Amino acid sequence: MWLLGSAVGASFTIIILHWISWFPFDWLPISLLTVAFFFIVCTFKGYKLFPIIRAFTAEHEASEHLFYASLADLHKQAKALLFSKRIKNLSQIQTAIHSVGFQQRQAESIYFDKSNELVVNEPKSAAAGNNASTYYPMKKAWERFFNEVFRLKEGTYDVPLHRDLGTTEIYVWDIPSIAFSRWEENLTRIEAYLKKVVFSIYRDFDGIGTVGVEIAKQPLPKEIIFQHMIDLHAATQASESVIVGVNCKGTVAWNYRKIPHGLVAGTTGAGKSTALYSIILQLQRQAHLPVFIDLKGGVSFGFVEDVGYPVATTKEAALQLVKGAVQEVERREKLLKEWGVSPDITVYNEMTGSNLPEIFIVFDEFAQFTDKWQGLDEGMACIKTIAAKGRSNGVHLLIATQRPSQESLGSTDFRSNISFRCIGRMDSQASSQIALGNSAAFERLPSTDYSGLFIVRGTDAPMDSLLKVPYVNDIDFRRLFLGYRNPHEGYAFGSGIHLNKSDQQEVGRNYNDIF
């Protein structure tokens, strides 16, 4: 068309010149002028070579990329891009092919190996006709979310890859204009629009710039009974982890050898006590040494003395206990250094035949200990020392509190050492920020019927995963705890001397006189 237009323009120019100045009307000047006009048009349109020459001299590598992208729809669009004035180099062609290829993969029926339980759904028959290639589950909910939260209209973003993982499903989005941080910030809104729990959000899930949003297919169970979920006899075989609860994929465990210190928090009715009970019972059956600080007069844990476990019920007694724990940390540091096995207490026990127990200092309502009193500064200094050095020496902190605050949990450095978090419903954004570093415990967890629902991090589940903790009431906790005597009874902090025998033994007793 350009060549024909150039020929017509050259003919009219020669006719005008012939009429004005008796310029010779001949095919030679017309041909020369046609070539000149054609060259000018090509240059003006952004091409440095004629289209025919350009087609024959295209870079071999670019042609090879287009050849591999030879699926009908993709090849058609890539060919148009190749001859577009906006595509001037190979890198732009590759970027364009990557973008178009993402759309093409969605239109295909891709099946993954069943052993990986990874399948891409085919378009549903209900979405026949023109909409078949753009159908995906929960399409309307996603469209509302993008329109109202990200201000994106339908058609301005690609159709997602949808992968069925059995108990969960993943939507893989390729929207470069939306930063990954915005997906994380709007996790609560995604759940609100989809009416389902988000298991996790993944960065660069299927290539750079893509985001995978994994959704639970079914809600978490309303209640999980501790005895039905956790076998305490089997728990004795686990040497370095305890089960915290259940999410949509199964049980979630806290490995206290890798993540040594923990925080359990939740407002009234959140289930903080039952989450703590579940962890303590498993630690006890694993023959570790939990020691208790119960500043409510021993109401929650005063009974543990009946089976040989230490408990402090006053602030002064609690101070002596944490000071003894610091002495134990320092003593163990010296032992490990002498034997050259630092920082692993397990290796030390195996090499020497010793039985240094893992010690867990359990604080019930930590905020009461951090109220203003004479020994506060000394006590917090001891606790910070344990938090900083306790991991390699087998001395752990397990802190429970109802309302986390700057005053109760101290500095950011101290909180950063408490990496395992099991956080139930918070009654304010400020408390959630202290406990998790975000507002999820206030905004994400429901305002009603939230008992047993917790957000956890520092486990084998993705960060800030939602789970249900097993329920155990006060009476069952006491019954189960009193059925197992402390195998390290009489263990003296700072010296390691056992005053009583350390063999495990089941206790037979009449529980009717206790309750």
d(CA 90, CA 63): 10
Task: Give the three-state DSSP class for 246.
Answer: strand
Q: Which two tokens stand for residue 238?
A: 């686990």
Which residue ranges are tagged as binding site for ATP?
266-273
Task: Evaluate the CA torsion angle 496, 500, 501, 507 in order and state its sign.
Answer: negative
Task: Evaluate the CA torsion angle 300, 442, 436, 465 in order and state its sign.
Answer: positive
**Burial 478-514, CB ≥16 within 10 A → b, else e:** bebbbbbbbbbbebebeebeeeeeeeeeeeeeeeeee
**Burial 338-377, CB ≥16 within 10 A → b, else e:** eeebbeebeebeeeeeeebbbbbbbbbbbbbbbeeeebee
Residues 6+ apart with CB under 8 A from 242: 235, 253, 254, 256, 278, 279, 282, 283, 286
3-state secondary structure 157-181: CCCCEEEECCCEEEEEECCCCCCHH
d(CA 317, CA 323): 10
d(CA 193, CA 140): 10
Q: Which two tokens stand for residue 203?
A: 């960065």
H helix or E strand, kind and range, residue 436: helix 429-436
Nearest to 289 by CA among 274, 299, 304, 268: 304
d(CA 240, CA 319): 28
Q: Which two tokens stand for residue 354?
A: 């010793």
Angle at alpha carbon of residue 148, lines to 144 and 150, rounded to 5°:
105
d(CA 78, CA 69): 8
Q: Which two tokens stand for residue 448?
A: 């009603």
- Give, as one character, the DSSP assignment of residue 221: P
Angle at alpha carbon of residue 474, lines to 252 and 397, rounded to 5°:
50
Q: Which two tokens stand for residue 421?
A: 């978090």
Q: Which two tokens stand for residue 51?
A: 């289209």
Which residue ranges are tagged as binding site?
266-273
